[in-house]
Amino acid sequence: MKKAFVTGWPIKHSKSPMLHGFWLKQYGIKGSYEAKGVEPENFEQFLKDLPTSEFVGGNVTIPHKEAAFANVDQLDEAAKAIGAVNTLWLEDGKLCGGNTDAYGFSANMDQFAPEWREGKKAIVLGAGGAARAIIYAVLEAGFKEVHIVNRTLERAENLATLFGANCKAHPWDGLQDLLSQTDFIVNTTSIGMAGSDASMMPDLSTLPKSAIVTDIVYTPLETPFLKSANALGLKTVDGLGMLLHQAVPGFEKWFGLRPEVTDELRDYILGLSS
Ligand code: NAP
């Protein structure tokens, strides 16, 4: 029986065991996928032990994504560009690390707003860990200008330097001037959520009517950011599909079958208490 895992610290809120468990059951595969909490100080040893362990691979989440990047034998192109690993598998005894977050993001957009790829100018709100995968995905999709807007300008500048000439960094108060020229905007921050500073919530009314708006935060499914875009009649895509699609390549590597992201799966994950 093939066994896979998701590791993080803490790990109990992860929806990945339910997601992969759904597919294992749906396809009648004799396999398992379990949550394994590993404390940061034990993570390197956990990776060293993997090739001789009972596992064929697994997912890596916060706070281990950068440590996994630094400690695997081989990286895929996305992981190299993003600087973080979220998927591990074994190949000829070697520990391989990939990043499927950018794939998941793009696949979600392709499913619900395939015309997003026609855009030229994008705004990415936020410059944290997840923003790296989003910037990579947006550049891969062919955008010519990617504007990274972040509360802490320095973090946006670091990402703009990392990802090259098509990217520009802006402070938060530079956002309003960019909106009227934008085809696509993605939020990766907690703006508008409980506990955040309400004054930072942007006024999206100057976005072109054709602009596409998405959020990678999916709890709640309609975030305050998406709600304000919906109220303006703009096309929006929620972030749940990114979570579902990013799981596809790992499942295929570990269990040998490419699973489908269906409405049934989406409804099942939505129905789980958070
Ligand atoms: P992170 O590394 O902690 O980065 C957080 C980002 O949000 C930073 O840019 C931070 O700005 C900004 N921020 C935080 N609070 C803010 C506020 N009140 N106002 C404005 N900006 C604020 O987090 P992350 O790993 O990038 O994850 C971000 C979110 O994406 C999380 O909610 C996570 O669950 C979600 N996510 C979803 C998926 C999916 O599959 N849909 C995948 C990955 C992550 P500063 O730099 O100024 O602190």
Q: Are residues 129 and 221 part of one domain?
A: yes
Q: Are residues 156 and 111 part of one domain?
A: yes
Q: Are residues 232 and 118 part of one domain?
A: yes
Q: Which whole number is the average pLDDT over 16-43? A: 98
Atom of ligand 1 nearest to the CA of 155: 46
Give 79-103 pLDDT, tens digit per residue: 999 999 999 999 999 999 999 999 9
Instruction: Residue 71: give its domain's CATH number.
Output: 3.40.50.10860
Residue-level pLDDT at 273 = 66
Task: Give the distance (Å) from ligand 1 centre to CA of residue 125.
Answer: 9
Q: Are residues 61 and 9 part of one domain?
A: yes
Task: Give the distance (Å) from ligand 1 centre to CA of residue 210.
Answer: 26
Q: Are residues 231 and 107 part of one domain?
A: yes
CB of 123 closer than 8 Å to CB of 182: yes
Q: Are residues 46 and 14 part of one domain?
A: yes
Q: Are residues 137 and 72 part of one domain?
A: no
Q: Say which of 15, 25, 65, 94 is annotated catalytic.
A: 65
Whether pLDDT at 22 is above 80? yes
Q: Are residues 150 and 137 part of one domain?
A: yes
Q: Are residues 108 and 95 part of one domain?
A: no
Residue-level pLDDT at 171 = 98
Q: Are residues 212 and 125 part of one domain?
A: yes
Task: Give the distance (Å) from ligand 1 centre to CA of residue 3.
Answer: 31
Q: Quote the number of domains for the chain.
A: 2
Pairing of strands 2-8, 31-37: parallel
Mapping DSSP onto H, E and C, the string for the chain reads CEEEEEEECCCCCCCHHHHHHHHHHHCCCCEEEEEEECCHHHHHHHHHHHHHCCEEEEEECCCCHHHHHHHCCEECHHHHHHCCCCEEEEECCEEEEECCHHHHHHHHHHHHCHHHHHCCEEEEECCCHHHHHHHHHHHHCCCCEEEEEECCHHHHHHHHHHHCCCEEEEEHHHHHHHHCCCCEEEECCCCCCCCCCHHHCCCHHHCCCCCEEEECCCCCCCCHHHHHHHHCCCEEECCHHHHHHHCHHHHHHHHCCCCCCCHHHHHHHHHCCC
> Distance (Å, rounded) from C-alpha 131 to C-alpha 169?
13
Q: Are residues 202 and 183 part of one domain?
A: yes
For ligand 1, atom 12, which residue shows the shortest CA distance?
A: 189
Instruction: Residue 145: give its domain's CATH number.
Output: 3.40.50.720
Atom of ligand 1 nearest to the CA of 152: 47
Q: Is 65 a catalytic residue?
A: yes
Q: Are residues 50 and 35 part of one domain?
A: yes
Give 166-215 pLDDT, tens digit per residue: 999 999 999 999 999 999 999 999 998 888 888 899 999 999 999 999 99
Range of the domain at 60: 2-99+247-273
